[in-house]
Amino acid sequence: MGKSNKPEGISPESCGISGIKYSGIGGQAVLEGVMMRNKDDYAVAVRRQNGEIVVKKDTYEGILHNKTVYKIPILRGVLSFIDSLVLGMRTLNFSSDIYMEEEEAKDGKQGEKEEKEEKGKKKDTSEGFVSVLVTIVSVVIALGLFMILPYFLSQFFKGIISNGYVLSLIEGVIRLLIFVVYIKLISLMQDIRRVFMYHGAEHKCINCIESGMELTVENAAKASREHRRCGTSFLLYVMVVSIIFFAFIQTPDRILKVLLRIVLIPVVAGVAYEFIRAAGRSTNPLIRALSVPGLWMQRLTTSEPDSEMLQVAIRSVEEVFDWREYLKENFGKGA
């Protein structure tokens, strides 16, 4: 891979963290690549080991085709979260398929073209089911790890602390600690470390555009790898909002408490989404100050990408977004 493009002397404020102009594009890092989405269009760019960049462009209209419901506060956050899970699994499957093909080719296990095509047809029929199943399992594990486990661990303090509000605060702190430890542990995996680098590339490209710079490798390298609309920030504020919500759920029934923590997750996610949405567009000093912890958390899930990773991210952006026209309209740049 290319050399690292670590920015020198470039502040986050000059690279899209403040003074941004909302572009509407978002993305996600995948295995050896980046997915970028603009409205219903999305593109996944993945670099093969031979240096070739493979691109898949498609559309995803969301789980509901009625766009009106996506304008309803709170509800749009729930729907957007579900959409991100579904599209995220779809794009991860694409990148992992390319990765597995290369591994099979390296091991000499790649079949003939006809055989692969036949397998591909069978795979297409089951891919949707598998993606849904994996998504459901992932959500169940996340619920148990980040919502249910912290509650039961906080009950160990019940013998010395009787105040329900304090116990809720302890539960929230435990939840945050589990999240941080989880991120640190998975970052020890080599593939995940590279995903975090591509995550940084994704943010840098968006920040580069939204701060009015032409989207080149050199300019993107100078941009911040932190962004206020990041999913990492969203997860952090889901936990923060849950502390506030659950503090007011004071019932002696332990089973009811657990059930309420599950049932209220969509509401918590919806509220957290509204804050992230506002933070990504607003210049209000208070909102920007409140979004800073989310930027700090992103230091765990993003790393400085190299130039080749930035090339992949740029390719993904250009498949779904006319950044030249955007700069012309918002910054008066270009022809």
Percent of the chain surpassing pLDDT 70: 84
Q: Do the beta carbons of residue 22 and residue 281 sit within 8 Å? A: yes
User: By 3-state DSSP, what share of the chain in percent is helix, strand and coil, each rounded to 5?
Assistant: 65, 10, 25
Q: What was the pLDDT predicted at 189? A: 92
Place of tokens 């031979």: 50
- The confidence score (pLDDT) of residue 171 equals 93
State the chain's mean pLDDT as an integer.
85
The per-residue pLDDT for range 249-279, each reduced to its tens digit, is: 888 888 998 898 889 999 999 999 999 999 8
* Gyration radius of the chain's alpha carbons: 21
Among 41-50, 132-141, 203-212, which is the least confidently predicted range?
Answer: 132-141
- In the chain, the largest separation of any two C-alpha atoms, in whole Å, equals 70
Looking at residue 254, its pLDDT comes to: 86
Instruction: Say if CB 206 and CB 27 are below 8 A apart.
Output: yes
Residues 144-167: tens digit of each pLDDT: 888 889 999 999 998 898 888 899
Give me the pLDDT at residue 145, please.
84
What average pLDDT does the segment 219-226 reach?
Answer: 96
For residue 128, pLDDT beyond 70 = no
Output the pLDDT for position 9: 36
What is the rounded distance in angstroms from the CA atom of residue 95 to the CA atom of residue 117? 18
Asked whether the predicted pLDDT for residue 75 surpasses 60, the reply is yes
CA distance 100 to 153: 39
What does pTM read for this prediction? 0.84
- In angstroms, the CA 198 to CA 305 distance is 6
Given this model, what pLDDT does residue 7 score?
44
Range with the poorest average pLDDT among 52-61, 225-234, 251-260, 291-300? 251-260
Question: 249 in helix, strand or coil?
Answer: coil
Average pLDDT on 6-17 reads 41
Any idea where the domains of the chain sit in the sequence?
A: 12-107+125-331
The yes-or-no verdict on residue 6 having pLDDT over 80 is no
What letter would DSSP give residue 212? T
- pLDDT of 318 reads 97
Task: Give me the helices (H) in 144-253, please.
Answer: 149-154, 164-186, 190-210, 217-222, 231-247
Is residue 242's pLDDT more than 60? yes
Give residue-wise pLDDT tens across range 94-112. 998 887 877 666 666 545 4
Residue 334: per-residue pLDDT = 65
pLDDT in tens, 173-218: 999 999 999 999 999 999 899 999 999 999 999 999 999 999 999 9
Give the contacts of 150 (CB within 8 A, at least 6 positions apart): 171, 172, 174, 175, 178
Rounded Cα distance between 59 and 190, Å, is 31
Q: What's residue 140's pLDDT?
A: 77
**Poorest-confidence range of 23-32, 33-42, 121-130?**
121-130
Q: What local confidence, expressed as pLDDT, does residue 141 receive? A: 81
Q: Is the pLDDT of residue 172 over 70?
A: yes
Cβ atoms of 244 and 57 within 8 Å: the answer is no
